[in-house]
Structure 1
Amino acid sequence: MRVVVTRPENSARRSAERLRSLGHEPVLLPLTKARHRADLAEDAFDKPHAALAVTSAEAVRVLSALADRLKPYLEETLYVVGDATARAAGEAGFQNICVGPGTGAALAELIASRTPEFAAPLLYLAGKPRSPKFEEGLHAKKVPFVTAEIYEMSPIAYDEDIIRHALLDPPANAVLLYSRENARLFFDFAVPHAAALAAMRMLCLSDNVAGVVPYEFHRNIKIAEHPDEDGLLALL
């Protein structure tokens, strides 16, 4: 199958390798690029906090840029959203990693169940834009937290020739959609070509992601059983 990979470039290359190993043809179409603010992460670490939380591997990449300055915090409890983020955190040197089941809402439930009372706020090291589910879950469970926005994902502008080549030359068979924002940006490019892409499978990480798929593509939605890339690739 010809599969469009919409993740940022660093992650997309790893996804492409996995697709090739499964016999598919990856088409890399990163929709965003990251602007890291390691200085804001360092400022946030200086303030009182009981534990750390991240909901993306991109946040871990920002922290890794601190190099030796990160060492004092590597033994702190770090809550991560799922296995992929946990692997990135382990590679960065974190030693006390608590892994959630793959969604921000479920991670908030896990944190609330393990920390009935924090002596200081949880420090959430986040990106922009992001899903509100994790923070909403913490609020609902009355878990004190502060959010530090340490990176921003900016949309990448493509000219029409690149889009047509990626999606239509020949028509893609499937697209991997990892987040609501990721999906929204993809369909800005795809909707004008809806007729040519009528058979393309919309492989969504979760119901939340599927919620932004335009009506004309609804018949092709497939949702991962588990909210991670393994779950997405199992849909192929």
Structure 2
Amino acid sequence: MRVLVTRPAHSGERTAQRLRELGHEPLLLPLTRPVHDMAAARQALETTTGAIAVTSAEAVRTLQSLGEALTPHLSRRLFAVGETTADEARRLGFHSVSASSGSGRELAEMIAANKVDRLLYLAGNPRADTFERRLTELGQHFSVAECYRMEPVAPNPETVATLLLSNPPDAVLFYSRQTAGNFFHIPGVESLLLQLPKIHLICLSNTVAEAVPPVLRKGLEISPMPDEKSLLSLLRRL
């Protein structure tokens, strides 16, 4: 299958390799790019103690840029959404890493169950409020440091039209609501997709799927779990 990947370049290349291993042909169309704020991450680490929470691998990549300044904090316990992000934290050198198997809500419940006293959330902008809202509901004390932001990338509409119509993808993967929204705001993309009634729009979660226009939801597929393994497993059923 030809599969269009809308992730940022770094993450998109990793997904493309996994698609090749599964026998698919990836097409890359990055619609956001990360901008890391190393100063904010460093200040947050130096002015807090206790556990760290991350809901995206981009937060881990921000920490990677700190070099030796990160070393004193590698003994702090780290909680992550998903094994992919957890593995990146382990490779960076964190000694104690725990991963939730689901969304930010499950991560919040894991942290509360572990009776974490102090928690630093290294967050991005924009982001869903699921994790922070559930922490608050559970009475968990935490601080937030925005250490990266995702900026939109505006592709040439003619390039996108050629990509969709010259040799159409069989599926499009969406990992975030922001990225899905950026895709459907590309001029003319909705009418182009209506010309491809067999295309599958595959979303990581219900929240991401909310960005899909109602007229295109006939081809909508939602991952049973909000992780890449579950998302890519849907391709086998198409």
**What TM-score do you get using the length of structure 2 for normalisation?**
0.94
Aligned-partner Cα distance in 2 for 1:144–1:167: 47
**Corresponding residue of 1:149:** 146
Partners of 2:226 and 2:159 lie apart in 1 by 29
Instruction: Report the more deviating stretch, 56-65 or 96-105.
Output: 96-105
Who is 2:68 aligned against? 68
Q: Give the corresponding residue for 2:48.
A: 48
1:81 is the counterpart of 2:81: yes
CA distance in 2, matches of 1:166, 1:32: 18
Q: Which amino acid aligns with 2:227?
A: D
Q: Deviations over 1:65-109 (max 9, x none)?
A: 001110000010101011110111011111110111131111011
The match for 1:138 is 135
1:106 paired with 2:101, answer no
Say which is worse superposed, 142-151 or 203-212, in terms of deviation: 203-212
> How far 1:194 moved relative to its partner?
2.9
1:84-99 equivalence runs, <5 A: 84-99=84-99
Task: Give the structure 2 partner of residue 27 of structure 1.
Answer: 27
Q: Where does structure 1 differ by over 6 angstroms across 4 or more consecutive aligned residues?
A: none
Unaligned stretches of 5+ in structure 1? none
Other structure's SS at 2:234 match: coil
What secondary structure is seen at the aligned counterpart in 2 of 1:235? helix
1:124-164 deviations in Å (ceiling 9; x for gaps): 00111111100111111111111100011100011122211
The 5 A counterparts of 1:208-227 are: 208-227=207-226
Residues 59-68 or 193-202, more deviating: 193-202
Structure 1 residue 179: Cα displacement = 1.4
Q: Which runs of 5+ in 2 are unaligned?
A: none
Partner of 2:5: 5
Number of aligned positions between the proteins: 233
Larger CA deviation: 135-144 vs 211-220: 211-220
- Cα distance per residue 1:14-42 (max 9 Å; x no partner): 11111112221111001101111111100
How is 1:174-185 mapped onto 2 (pairs within 5 angstroms)? 174-185=171-182
Say if 2:184 is the partner of 1:187. yes
Kept in 1, the 8 Å contact 2:194–2:216? The answer is: no
- Give me the CA root mean square deviation: 1.2
Please tell me whether the aligned partners of residues 171 and 196 of structure 1 are also in contact (alpha carbons under 8 angstroms): no
The amino acid of 1:74's aligned partner reads: L
**SS class of match (1:181):** helix
* 1:178-202, Cα deviation, whole Å (9 max, x unpaired): 1111211121123242322332101
- 1:109 is paired with a residue whose SS is helix
- When structure 1 is superposed on structure 2, of 157-166 and 141-150 the one drifting more is 157-166
Q: By how many angstroms is 1:166 displaced?
A: 2.4
When normalised by structure 1's length, the TM-score is: 0.95
Q: Percent identity?
A: 44
d(CA) in 2 for partners of 1:92, 1:197: 43
